[in-house]
Amino acid sequence: PRPGLRKGHMPGAKNLFFLDLLNPDNTVRFKPKEELKQIIADAGIPLPLQPPKRVISSCGSGVTACVLLAAFNIVGEDTNQTFLYDGSWAQWGSHSDTPIVKD
Q: What is the pLDDT of residue 1?
A: 59
* Under 8 Å between Cβ of 39 and 31: yes
**pLDDT tens for the chain, residues 1 to 103:** 577 788 888 888 899 999 999 999 999 999 999 999 999 999 999 999 988 889 999 988 878 999 999 999 999 999 999 999 888 888 888 888 998 898 7
Beta carbons within 8 Å of 5's beta carbon, 6+ residues apart = 89, 90, 93, 94
Catalytic residue set: 59
Q: What is the pLDDT of residue 94?
A: 87
Q: What is the pLDDT of residue 68?
A: 95
Q: What is the pLDDT of residue 43?
A: 96
